[in-house]
A and B are shown apart, each in its own frame.
Chain A
Amino acid sequence: MAQEEKPADPEVLPGQAAQPRPDAGTTPTGIAGLDFVLEGGLPRGQPTLMRGGPGTGKTAIALTFLCRGLARGEPGVLVTFDEGPEALIRHAESLGFPLGEHIDAGQARVLDMRPSRADLVAGEIVELTAVLARLGHALDQLDAHLLVIDAIDGMEESFDAQTGLRAELTRVFDWIRERDATTVITSGEQTDFSRRYGLEEYIADCVILLSQEIEHRRMTRLLRILKRRGGGHGTNEFPFLLDEEGIFIAPVTGTRLEGGAPTDRHSTGVSGLDAMMGGAGPYRGSALMLSGQSGTGKTTFAAAFADAACRAGDQVLYLSFEEATKEILRNQRAAGIDLLEHLAEEGGSGRLIFHPLLAVQLGWEAHLLRVMRSVQTSQPDIVILDPASALADRHSVQYGKEMLLRLFYMLKREGVTAFATELLPDYSDGMSTMDVSSIVDTWIKLRRDERGGQLHRLLNVVKARGLPTSERIQEFYIRKDGIHVQEGP
Chain B
Amino acid sequence: MADNYVLHLYIAGRTPAAERAIENLKELLKEASGEAAAYELKVIDILENPQLAEDQRILATPVVIKQLPPPVRRVVGDLSEQEKVLVGLDLKGDAP
Contact = CB atoms under 8 A, between A and B. Distances in A.
Interface string B57-90: 1111111000000000111111111001101100
Nearest to A127: B61
Given A120-B88, A159-B60, A130 B79 contact: no
A113 B59 contact: yes
B79 to A, nearest CB: 5
Q: Identify which of B16, B20, B59, B79 gathers the most chain A CB atoms within 10 Å of its CB.
A: B59
Interface string A106-139: 0000011111101111111111111101101110
A114 B57 CA distance: 8
Contacts of B62: 125, 127
A452 B22 CA distance: 104
A116 B74 contact: yes
Interface residues of A, number: 28
B12 interface: yes
Given A122-B88, A138-B54, A133 B76 contact: no
B56 to A, nearest CB: 9
Contact of A115 (B12, B13, B59): B59
Nearest to A157: B59
Contacts of A118: 73-74
B12 to A, nearest CB: 3
B50 interface: yes
Contacts, number: 100
B75 A130 contact: no
Interface in B15-55: 15-17, 20-21, 24, 46-47, 50-51, 53-54
Nearest to B51: A137
Nearest to B64: A122
Given A118-B73, A120-B88, A133 B46 contact: yes
Contact of A119 (B16, B20, B54, B74): B74
A128 B62 CA distance: 10
Contacts of A115: 59
Given A111-B54, A122-B85, A127 B73 contact: no
Given A111-B54, A119-B63, A122-B84, A130 B46 contact: yes
Contact of A123 (B15, B73, B81): B81
B77 A134 contact: no
A158 interface: yes
B65 to A, nearest CB: 10
Contacts of A134: 50, 53-54, 58
Nearest to B59: A158
Contact of B58 (A120, A123, A130, A138): A130
A129 B78 contact: no
Contact of B77 (A116, A126, A137): A126
Contacts of A122: 75-77, 79-81, 84-85, 88
Contacts of A130: 10, 12, 46, 53, 58-61, 63
Contacts of B81: 122-123
Nearest to A120: B88
A123 B84 CA distance: 9
Contacts of B53: 130, 133-134, 137
A129 B12 contact: yes
A127 B77 contact: no
A125 B81 CA distance: 11
Given A111-B54, A130-B10, A137-B54, A123 B46 contact: no
B15 A127 contact: yes
Given A112-B57, A130-B12, A131-B59, A119 B76 contact: yes
A172 to B, nearest CB: 12
Nearest to A122: B84
Contacts of A127: 12, 15, 17, 60-62
- Sort A-B residue pairs by CB-CB distance and give the 9 closest, nearest first: A123-B77, A129-B12, A137-B50, A125-B17, A123-B78, A120-B88, A122-B84, A123-B80, A126-B60
Given A116-B59, A129-B13, A137-B51, 14 more contacts: A114-B57, A119-B76, A120-B74, A123-B21, A123-B80, A124-B78, A124-B80, A125-B78, A127-B61, A130-B10, A131-B59, A133-B12, A133-B47, A137-B54
12 contacts: A116-B74, A118-B74, A119-B74, A119-B75, A122-B80, A123-B77, A125-B20, A126-B76, A127-B12, A127-B15, A127-B17, A159-B60
